[in-house]
Chain A
Amino acid sequence: MRDITKVRNIGISAHIDSGKTTLTERILFYTQRIHAIHEVRGKDGVGAKMDSMELERERGITICSAATYCDWKDHAVNIIDTPGHVDFTIEVERALRVLDGAVLILCSVGGVQSQSITVNRQMTRYRVPRVAFINKCDRTGANPDRVIKQIREKLGLNAVPIQVPMGLEGDMQGLIDLVQMKAVYFDGENGDKIRIEEIPAQYKEECDIKREEMLDAVSMFSDELMEAVLEGTPTEEMIMAAIRTGTLSMEFTPVMMGTAYKNKGVQLLLDAVVSYLPCPTDVDNFALDLDHEEAEVKVSNVSSDPLLALAFKLEDGRYGQLTYVRTYQGTLKKGDSIVNVRTGKKAKVGRLVRMHSDDMEEIDEAGAGDIVALFGIDCASGDTFTSGSDYNFSMTSMHVPAPVISLSITPIDNKAQDNMSKALNRFTKEDPTFKTYVDQETLETIISGMGELHLDVYVERMKREYKAEVTVGAPQVAYRETITQRAEFNYTHKKQTGGSGQFGRVAGFIEPMEEGEYEFVDQIVGGSVPREYIPSCDKGFQKCLDKGALVGAHVTGVRCAINDGASHAVDSSDIAFQLAAQGGFKEAYMKAKPVIMEPIMKVAVEGPTEFQGSIMGSLNQRRGMIIGTNEEDAYTVIEAEVPLSEMFGYSTDLRSLTQGKAEFTMEFATYRQVPKSVAEELIAKALKNKKQ
């Protein structure tokens, strides 16, 4: 078993197209896991190793986070390559949960883009220490200093460069390491021969200044270094130790640079991962004690303790279901029996493998802090495994955002029908943001998720992996309904049909609430509604929430209270009170002035300045509220809040408007009330659908 202090679980995350996958590819090459470099969109057609899914290779983007493992200078490094697109946020979040440290990649030209901000926020939420890597320094317009400034301003990180580039853009020759004060060149066809030399004279002065700045910043984290700096004798070890302390405390972010594509700086980044990012024992992970009201308990990271492992990713590979797990404490051994805390079911560890994107390596056991994959274990992602049922802990539940867009899918024939349900079953297990249900009125299957691309990818995967051809309906925005004022009800449900009838009367009110979806308040005094029927009322109200009376959207933000009622000794029943509650809700609902809410997306469009006017016009047309513009050198970033329903097909419009020179990203921001004219339209449409 490995020494736990020599394990690094790191993630690589960044904005789309800033070169995560290319960088990972280089890392695998230098650590000798792969023996040839394939480009993401390379001409050889092999595609990058990490993008194993056919679709990923085709589109040149990473969809699923892939896990891989490599060795660097006697350390074991587990790398999770995370997707950059916002629609796949859940993959990023899940990956972050199991990571101890991360590399934040930024493009030297694009700098801190909207997705970098999202990812950074997520990393802060999960307290993931990070180092920054400014990639693509070979591109025209590369300006690491500007990017560093942006990291400080936009991400609020104490970013300090520990390297100085020798030349930028086309003539980048190498890097100067400010810790060792040496120039590093990357020779050979693949940059694998490292040559260390003295710093060239023309960079000397700049390096002295930058080193001074860096020492100033890191000496905050080590008194020893502070003294040594004052005496003028800081050693390499001292500086590195201080950088490490600073990085782990998340109060310092070392910044490195290079260009993965041109093979520069990757080895130094690996050195930094090993030197500055935490090992599993350096970070505190917490489990929830289910026996003690989910109290937080720190995991021990000791291999001899009872097992605690989290399944963070499922994959349906060609060898059956593959479950990626991270062990937090204890040992996962082949042949051991483990318990799924959620279901309470026992399972036996069959094959245990270490993953390398889509190749694998059989192993017998995995100690605390490791990331491995299991075969043939039935579970959903986010499940916790322990060594026995008496050990009732769960790793924290993960933050799952609600889907904002949905569309109907119809299989083209019976065979496709079977395959489709198989595929849906699999996808919903893999991805908690992907949901599916059957619309009771239209009997259509509805899938919902985080964005157009998100659903696109699943429909595409259904076709390719499950041979389920489906016709896809127009995307629908997940509207919501909520009420704006308090309204009372007093409803009697009475039905007399020969035998025992149904009787129940409930009175109370519904009112809006600021936070939360639904709350039930029982204000019955004196037993006017018998105790046993109170839960029936709750159930009745909840049934009404699925479909609001305005447009049939989900109703949220409602507090339902009952304060009076009546029952009948013989005719009252569970169902009678459920129906009474439903009747009461319906009676009060329209009086409570219901409104329709729609998802609003935060949209950021980046484009050349000359198109700024027309971009703004296009957002304006789409009911967008332009928040502002930010002038960078030759391009402008426009930020706006736009209703999701207006964003369909925007990429095409934007492309034709700007000759393909602008790109946009969007992410869910909030729900907001739709304007009156739109609301009327929606209501009319809903009415028409109902009649049909």
Chain B
Amino acid sequence: MLKQDLIEKNPIRHLKGESDAKESSRMGLVMARPGVGKTALLVQIALDSLMNDKQVVHVSVGQSLDKTKLWYDDMFKDIADGCKLENAGEIHDSIMKNRMIITFNESKFSLAKLEERLHDLVQQNVITPSCMVVDGFDFAQTDRKVLEEMRELAKTMDLQIWFSAVCTDGNECQCASGVPAPCKGMEDLFNTVVLLQPVPQSDCIDLKVLKGSAAVSKCGKLLKLDTRTFMIREDCK
């Protein structure tokens, strides 16, 4: 498979919005219980942007640099192997140049710092991201205001931002309607909210779109992810 095919075939596009036109200044949220695959989906979203020769900032709260880098290397390898990508090594080297990881200690994360960092990056001409994924952001500890500021940031920097959030309450995860805690009542800030749920006795993960654009609902609101590559399966029933 060639790189171009992979880009076009990648069903993650459904999630990210219909076309490139409205990609910027969107906010997305991936929710799941621990260990289901939030990080994997975020990395997948980032990789898709990278494949499109866009630049990505990966903000990781509480995870080390090496670990985050490994996520990318492993996921890329899985995807490349999975769809027999040609020139995988070369593509890997070339797209990873467009990725930048910023890690924070759990207690040290602050929006102001992140903003400063991003401005630094742009100013020094290191990277001009069009997509940012934020992994490990603690929604339980933050109030609405921070997220509103994030939205502002997304707008001013022309960024697409994706967050991950841990569903704290197992029961609420089961309920299909509404956005579970800790993000309850914040859904208006996001353009897309998805919930990941493992399907018992299968190699699939359900991707429930709790809030999303029309492009997603065309697919029938219930997508399935392959657990290995986290590519959204095309046979989305």
Question: Are the CB atoms of B96 and A628 closer together than 8 Å?
Answer: no
Assembly CA distance A630 to B121 (angstroms): 14
* Selected interface stretch from B100-108, B140-148, B170-178: B100-108
Which 8 A-B residue pairings sit nearest by Cβ, starting from the closest?
A628-B101, A613-B120, A617-B124, A630-B103, A628-B65, A631-B104, A629-B102, A620-B126
Give, as a whole number of angstroms, the nearest-CB distance from A620 to chain B.
5
Q: Given the interface contacts A627-B69, A639-B65, does A620 sit within 8 Å of B101 by beta carbon?
A: no
Chain B CB within 8 A of A633 CB: yes
Chain B CB within 8 A of A626 CB: yes
Within 8 A of A (CB), among B76-107: 93, 96-97, 100-105
Assembly CA distance A617 to B66 (angstroms): 22
Fill in one digit per residue for A610-639: 1 if any B CB lies within 8 Å of its CB, else 0. 001110110010000111111111000101
Q: Given the interface contacts A612-B120, A631-B113, A672-B93, does A626 sit within 8 Å of B126 by beta carbon?
A: yes
CB nearest neighbor in A for B90: A673
Chain B CB within 8 A of A213 CB: no
Question: Are the CB atoms of A614 and B124 closer together than 8 Å?
Answer: yes
User: Can you spell out 13 A-B residue pairs with CB atoms less than 8 angstroms apart?
Assistant: A612-B120, A613-B123, A616-B126, A620-B125, A626-B100, A626-B126, A628-B103, A629-B100, A629-B101, A630-B65, A631-B103, A631-B113, A672-B93
Give, as a whole number of angstroms, the nearest-CB distance from A55 to chain B.
34
Assembly CA distance A631 to B113 (angstroms): 9
CB nearest neighbor in A for B67: A153
In the complex, chain B residues whose CB is within 8 Å of the CB of A637: 65
Assembly CA distance A627 to B68 (angstroms): 10
Chain B CB within 8 A of A154 CB: yes
Beyond the given A612-B117, A628-B68, A628-B101, please list 16 additional residue pairs across the A-B interface where CB-CB is below 8 A.
A617-B125, A617-B126, A620-B124, A620-B126, A626-B126, A627-B65, A627-B100, A628-B100, A628-B103, A630-B102, A631-B103, A631-B105, A631-B108, A631-B113, A639-B65, A672-B93
In the complex, chain B residues whose CB is within 8 Å of the CB of A627: 65, 69, 100-101
Question: Are the CB atoms of B103 and A629 closer together than 8 Å?
Answer: yes
CB nearest neighbor in A for B113: A631
Assembly CA distance A398 to B58 (angstroms): 39
Question: Are the CB atoms of B64 and A153 closer together than 8 Å?
Answer: yes
Question: Are the CB atoms of A616 and B121 closer together than 8 Å?
Answer: yes
Give, as a whole number of angstroms, the nearest-CB distance from B43 to chain A.
14
B interface residue numbers (CB < 8 A to A): 58, 64-66, 68-69, 93, 96-97, 100-105, 108, 113, 117, 120-121, 123-127
CB nearest neighbor in B for A612: B120
In the complex, chain B residues whose CB is within 8 Å of the CB of A620: 124-126
Count residues on chain A whose CB falls below 8 Å from chain B CBs.
Answer: 20
Give, as a whole number of angstroms, the nearest-CB distance from B112 to chain A.
12
CB nearest neighbor in B for A150: B64
In the complex, chain B residues whose CB is within 8 Å of the CB of A632: 105, 108
CB nearest neighbor in A for B125: A620
Give, as a whole number of angstroms, the nearest-CB distance from B97 to chain A.
5
Question: Are the CB atoms of A629 and B117 closer together than 8 Å?
Answer: yes
In the complex, chain A residues whose CB is within 8 Å of the CB of B105: 631-632
Fill in one digit per residue for A587-630: 1 if any B CB lies within 8 Å of its CB, else 0. 00000000000000000000000001110110010000111111
CB nearest neighbor in A for B96: A625
Fill in one digit per residue for A201-214: 1 if any B CB lies within 8 Å of its CB, else 0. 00000000000000
A interface residue numbers (CB < 8 A to B): 153-154, 612-614, 616-617, 620, 625-633, 637, 639, 672
Give, as a whole number of angstroms, the nearest-CB distance from B135 to chain A.
13
In the complex, chain B residues whose CB is within 8 Å of the CB of A617: 124-126
Give, as a whole number of angstroms, the nearest-CB distance from A619 to chain B.
8
In the complex, chain B residues whose CB is within 8 Å of the CB of A639: 65
In the complex, chain A residues whose CB is within 8 Å of the CB of B101: 627-629
Q: Given the interface contacts A630-B103, A631-B104, A632-B105, does A154 sit within 8 Å of B124 by beta carbon?
A: no
In the complex, chain B residues whose CB is within 8 Å of the CB of A612: 117, 120
Question: Are the CB atoms of B124 and A628 closer together than 8 Å?
Answer: no
Q: Which of A614, A620, A625, A629 has the most CB of B within 10 A?
A: A629
In the complex, chain A residues whose CB is within 8 Å of the CB of B108: 631-633
Point out the residue from B96, B103, B124 that lies within 8 Å of A613, measured CB to CB.
B124
Assembly CA distance A167 to B123 (angstroms): 43
Assembly CA distance A249 to B51 (angstroms): 45
In the complex, chain B residues whose CB is within 8 Å of the CB of A625: 96-97
Assembly CA distance A626 to B103 (angstroms): 13
Give, as a whole number of angstroms, the nearest-CB distance from A410 to chain B.
38
Q: Which of A620, A628, A632 has the most CB of B within 10 A?
A: A628
Give, as a whole number of angstroms, the nearest-CB distance from A631 to chain B.
5
In the complex, chain B residues whose CB is within 8 Å of the CB of A628: 58, 65, 68-69, 100-103
In the complex, chain A residues whose CB is within 8 Å of the CB of B100: 626-629
Assembly CA distance A218 to B93 (angstroms): 44
In the complex, chain A residues whose CB is within 8 Å of the CB of B126: 616-617, 620, 626
CB nearest neighbor in A for B114: A631
In the complex, chain B residues whose CB is within 8 Å of the CB of A629: 65, 100-103, 117
Assembly CA distance A613 to B100 (angstroms): 14
In the complex, chain A residues whose CB is within 8 Å of the CB of B103: 628-631
In the complex, chain A residues whose CB is within 8 Å of the CB of B120: 612-613, 616
CB nearest neighbor in A for B119: A613
Assembly CA distance A625 to B99 (angstroms): 9
Question: Are the CB atoms of B124 and A631 closer together than 8 Å?
Answer: no
In the complex, chain B residues whose CB is within 8 Å of the CB of A626: 100, 126-127
Give, as a whole number of angstroms, the nearest-CB distance from B28 to chain A.
22
Assembly CA distance A614 to B126 (angstroms): 10
Give, as a whole number of angstroms, the nearest-CB distance from A625 to chain B.
5
Point out the residue from B66, B102, B125 that lies within 8 Å of A631, measured CB to CB.
B102
Give, as a whole number of angstroms, the nearest-CB distance from A614 to chain B.
7
CB nearest neighbor in A for B121: A616
Give, as a whole number of angstroms, the nearest-CB distance from B212 to chain A.
30
Point out the residue from A153, A616, A630, A672 that lies within 8 Å of B124, measured CB to CB.
A616
CB nearest neighbor in A for B66: A154
Assembly CA distance A612 to B68 (angstroms): 20
In the complex, chain A residues whose CB is within 8 Å of the CB of B127: 626
Q: Which of A154, A626, A672 has the most CB of B within 10 A?
A: A626
CB nearest neighbor in A for B104: A631
Give, as a whole number of angstroms, the nearest-CB distance from B190 to chain A.
26
Question: Are the CB atoms of A154 and B64 closer together than 8 Å?
Answer: yes
CB nearest neighbor in A for B103: A630
In the complex, chain A residues whose CB is within 8 Å of the CB of B93: 672
In the complex, chain B residues whose CB is within 8 Å of the CB of A614: 124
Assembly CA distance A631 to B117 (angstroms): 10
CB nearest neighbor in A for B57: A628
Give, as a whole number of angstroms, the nearest-CB distance from B103 to chain A.
5
Give, as a whole number of angstroms, the nearest-CB distance from A591 to chain B.
20
In the complex, chain B residues whose CB is within 8 Å of the CB of A672: 93
Assembly CA distance A419 to B192 (angstroms): 74
CB nearest neighbor in B for A514: B89
In the complex, chain A residues whose CB is within 8 Å of the CB of B104: 631
CB nearest neighbor in B for A636: B117
Give, as a whole number of angstroms, the nearest-CB distance from B154 to chain A.
21
Give, as a whole number of angstroms, the nearest-CB distance from B31 to chain A.
25
Give, as a whole number of angstroms, the nearest-CB distance from A3 to chain B.
43
In the complex, chain A residues whose CB is within 8 Å of the CB of B102: 628-631
Assembly CA distance A380 to B5 (angstroms): 57
In the complex, chain A residues whose CB is within 8 Å of the CB of B121: 616
Give, as a whole number of angstroms, the nearest-CB distance from A679 to chain B.
15
In the complex, chain A residues whose CB is within 8 Å of the CB of B113: 631
Assembly CA distance A633 to B109 (angstroms): 10
Assembly CA distance A630 to B113 (angstroms): 12
Assembly CA distance A632 to B123 (angstroms): 22
CB nearest neighbor in B for A112: B64
Give, as a whole number of angstroms, the nearest-CB distance from A392 to chain B.
42
Give, as a whole number of angstroms, the nearest-CB distance from A532 to chain B.
40
Point out the residue from B64, B97, B123, B125 that lies within 8 Å of A630, measured CB to CB.
B64
In the complex, chain A residues whose CB is within 8 Å of the CB of B58: 628
In the complex, chain A residues whose CB is within 8 Å of the CB of B124: 613-614, 616-617, 620
Assembly CA distance A614 to B58 (angstroms): 20
Give, as a whole number of angstroms, the nearest-CB distance from B94 to chain A.
10
CB nearest neighbor in A for B101: A628
